[in-house]
A and B are shown apart, each in its own frame.
Chain A
Amino acid sequence: MSVATTMEHQAHAAEPAESPITPESWGKLGMWIFLSADAMSFGGLLAGYGALRYYSHDWPRPMDVLGIALTSFMTFLLIVSSFTMVKALSARRRGDLGQTTIYLALTALGGAIFLGLQAYEWSHLIHQGLTLTGNPFGSPLFGTTFFILTGFHGMHVTAGVIYLVITIFMARRGAWGYNEVEITGLYWHFVDLIWILVFTFVYLL
């Protein structure tokens, strides 16, 4: 690009219409920056969890307390919901609003079932005496970190389900196009990505 065209471009627009990093939209760049910051919140919680766990002598083996079958199913569910999300995006790219709606709805349903199972797991554990400050299986900090970490993630899933429902309405009205659906997808895949890490560090390790 010549200097003259660059100057002309700058003269016409005080603010460039396109983000230099994400030429499709500023919104996508905004979502990525938000997700980076959000990743730090989870990173802080996970690092704190690691330090507290290493400090404790009577940390229970999480699988013995939490079981693994239900959580494994929840993990598969989130992975599948990520798949339906990219299918929704593909459908939107083709301009197929019907398929977009169906796949977005399936994604939201996957998130809702995940939340239901998490509520079931939580109530089961609370009945067994695991609370924010108490743990009959060992260190009370296990209860604290477990509920804070999975709770913070569950909050993100809740927000994601609401976000997906809003996306369905906006996409059907034609107000949100491919780009907006992709941004919704970025958030949803991030929630899946975080669960992959939580599943490993809290349940398996």
Chain B
Amino acid sequence: MAHSGAAHAHKEPNYFGIIVVLAILTAAEIGVVFVGLPRFVLGVILVVLALWKAGMVALYFMHLKFEKKTLAVIAVTPLILCALLMFALLPDSDPERNLQKDAAGAVPSAPQTH
């Protein structure tokens, strides 16, 4: 309690404005699903909107914007690691290759020719 004054010297953001933006972005996410866009375009839009919302929660509600930059590095690290993890898992989700593997499982000694 002794030094609580210095702890939050930053100006308080307009929290109500932020939830209004978050609500609008959520409504946009739900709306865009029903437009009937091509799957890839829809995916990109939804991921961008989700990261935008998540970023606003972290920056304003979790005060990351007003913290030391090192804390932001700690916060962003899992995001980078998860992006790498997705690439690491990508070979496992190749439908063609896995189906061949499953089919080959029945005859273990069958040589694979590619």
Chain A residues within 8 Å of B, Cβ to Cβ = 20-25, 29, 32-33, 35-37, 39-40, 43-44, 46-48, 50-55, 57, 63, 68, 72, 75-76, 79-80, 82-83, 85-87, 90, 93, 177-179, 182, 185-186, 189-190, 192-193, 196-197, 199-201, 204-205
Q: Which residue of A lies closest to B42 (CB)?
A: A205
Q: Is B19 an interface residue (CB 8 A)?
A: yes
* The 3 nearest A-B residue pairs measured at CB: A43-B82, A24-B7, A39-B78
Contact A48 B7 (CB under 8 A): no
A50 with B29: CB separation less than 8 A: no
The 30 sampled A-B contact pairs (Cβ below 8 Å) are A20-B68, A21-B71, A32-B71, A33-B74, A35-B75, A36-B78, A39-B79, A43-B79, A43-B85, A50-B86, A51-B90, A51-B92, A51-B93, A53-B93, A54-B95, A55-B93, A55-B95, A57-B95, A76-B26, A79-B19, A85-B61, A86-B61, A179-B4, A185-B62, A189-B58, A192-B61, A193-B58, A193-B62, A197-B50, A205-B46
Q: Interface code B76-104, partner A: CB below 8 Å = 1, 0 otherwise? A: 01110110011001101111001000000
Contacting residue for B47 out of A37, A189, A193, A200, CB 8 A? A200
Is A179's CB under 8 angstroms from B61's CB?
no
Q: Are A178 and B8 in contact (CB under 8 A)?
A: yes
Q: Give the distance in Å from the alpha carbon of A4 to the alpha carbon of B22 in the complex.
A: 50
User: When chains A and B are docked, how far (Å) is the Cα of A2 from the Cα of B30?
Assistant: 57
Indicate whether B41 reaches chain A with its CB closer than 8 angstroms: no
User: Which residues of B does A touch, CB under 8 Å?
Assistant: 1, 3-4, 6-8, 12, 15-16, 18-19, 22-23, 26, 29-30, 33, 42-43, 46-47, 49-50, 53-54, 57-58, 61-63, 67-68, 70-71, 74-75, 77-79, 81-82, 85-86, 89-90, 92-95, 98
Determine the distance from Cα of A155 to Cα of B43 in the docked complex, in whole angstroms.
28
A63 to B46, alpha carbons, bound, how many Å? 14
Contact of B57 with A204 in the complex, beta carbons under 8 Å: no
Taking a contact as CB atoms under 8 Å apart, the answer to whether B93 and A50 are in contact is yes
- Chain A binding surface SS class: helix
Which residue of chain B is the closest to A57 with respect to CB atoms?
B95
* CA distance in complex: A85, B18 (Å): 13
Q: A21-B68, A179-B4, A196-B54 are in contact. List 12 more A-B contacts (CB 8 A).
A: A20-B68, A21-B71, A24-B4, A36-B77, A51-B89, A55-B92, A55-B95, A63-B33, A86-B61, A90-B15, A199-B50, A205-B46
Are A193 and B54 neighbours in the complex by a CB distance under 8 Å?
Answer: yes
For the complex formed, measure the closest distance between the CB of A30 and the CB atoms of chain B, giving whole angstroms.
Answer: 11
B104 to chain A, nearest CB (A): 16
Contact at B74–A185, with CB atoms within 8 Å?
no
Question: Closest CB-CB distance, B62 to chain A, in whole Å?
Answer: 5
Closest to B4 in A: A178
Q: Contacts of A20 on B, CB cut-off 8 Å?
A: 68, 70
A80–B93 contact, CB under 8 A? no
Question: Which among A36, A52, A80 is the interface contact of B19 at CB below 8 angstroms?
Answer: A80
